[in-house]
Structure 1
């Protein structure tokens, strides 16, 4: 999604288990199965990983295998087809999984004149749809290489995870001239401690065990998206 005008502050939202309950890519898997690009075995595997992710948070091994499988599946698929599929998946599945309290919080930031950016390891075509449908400023996400209008099955740039996610956010802050101390970040994962440490207002959402411990030690705000209201 195209970057927009300079603002005084930015709110960064992670997607999986922060803005959306569970993994957004799980809903994409359902769409890929319907399109005949995945097997029943892929679906069963994705369902098990989705259930584990909701209960216990991110798993590095599962993330790596899903990334490799996703790149393989998309090889040769037209970009226009994936854009249509991502829009359909959002309407059918993802929209219902968005935490209402988090969507309201994002709108509250916008109402106060802040830009709201998703920052996620999810593929850009998926993150862009979520940002657009929620009326957000844009999305920083993992890019996929395209040749002659089709995905090549290779990454384009860094996989936005961990330090790479924080680096992408830092580049946006530099480009917009925003003061990090006036900015916000929301995430559930220990891998996003670099992102959360970048801003003056870090908020942990559905934190995994390691992030919860770090948040207690650092005095960071904690938010339960199952309840309406502002961070504690």
Structure 2
């Protein structure tokens, strides 16, 4: 656990930015959006097979930009014609069934430690905003910054409202966000697993590399960044703990 400084309410706000996929949870959240859509008959076996392949590749070798963009575009296309209210319900179902059991307990503990220190904790992710909002809300975090989808009269069009929040775009958005809240980036934190988030990790004064892909791990070692490797056994133990508590 990194040494987190307390934040006096009169001081400049401190923001901790957390990536979601393979940082806060094991795997890609968008896969579970696709799987729930398949369960509800919104997509075909062919579509879910593509989602499954992207999930397998992501777990095996990390985030690939081309695969990520394809998966995100497919996921965003799923919402076309559906209401915001209906998809909030779907997002809660995804959280309960698929995301909560995949959360890394160590990363969740870090997020809660930041909150205990008086820091703001924001998810920053390419995951659709609606899903990211539900994850943040269910974990009691400050909020989420995700990829936005256009909605007209409460119905999603399936088009992006801006850009997929990925790579350099994350750093740009985080910088503007921190500036708008009067935060000093040198006091802020960022957590990620992907080399695509090097711009975000570089933008803040404190960063923790979690489950790093090969490129990010090499970069982190060169820069002397803190590296936190996680093991699936921690998720299994967390599941066992939940079962014991529910008896």
TM-score for both structures, normalised by structure 2: 0.87
Residue 164 (structure 2) pairs with residue 159 (structure 1): yes
Q: 1:164 is paired with a residue of what secondary structure?
A: helix
Equivalent position of 1:100 in the other structure: 105
Equivalent position of 1:88 in the other structure: 93
**Contact 2:34–2:48 under 8 Å retained in 1:** yes
Please identify, of 130-139 and 157-166, the stretch whose mean Cα deviation from structure 2 is larger: 157-166
Report the alpha carbon displacement of residue 68 of structure 1 after superposing the two structures with TM: 2.4
Q: 1:15 is paired with a residue of what secondary structure?
A: coil
Equivalent position of 2:68 in the other structure: 63
Residue 181 (structure 2) pairs with residue 176 (structure 1): yes
Match of 2:41 among 27, 31, 36: 36
Equivalent position of 2:27 in the other structure: 22
Distance in 2 between residues matched to 1:80 and 1:17, nearest whole Å: 27
TM-score for both structures, normalised by structure 1: 0.92
Equivalent position of 1:125 in the other structure: 130
Unmatched runs of 5 consecutive residues or more in structure 2: 1-10, 235-247
Equivalent position of 2:202 in the other structure: 197
Distance in 2 between residues matched to 1:89 and 1:110, nearest whole Å: 25
Report the alpha carbon displacement of residue 57 of structure 1 after superposing the two structures with TM: 0.3
The count of residues paired between Structure 1 and Structure 2 equals: 223
Which structure 1 residue ranges, 4+ long, deviate > 2 Å from structure 2?
70-73, 225-228
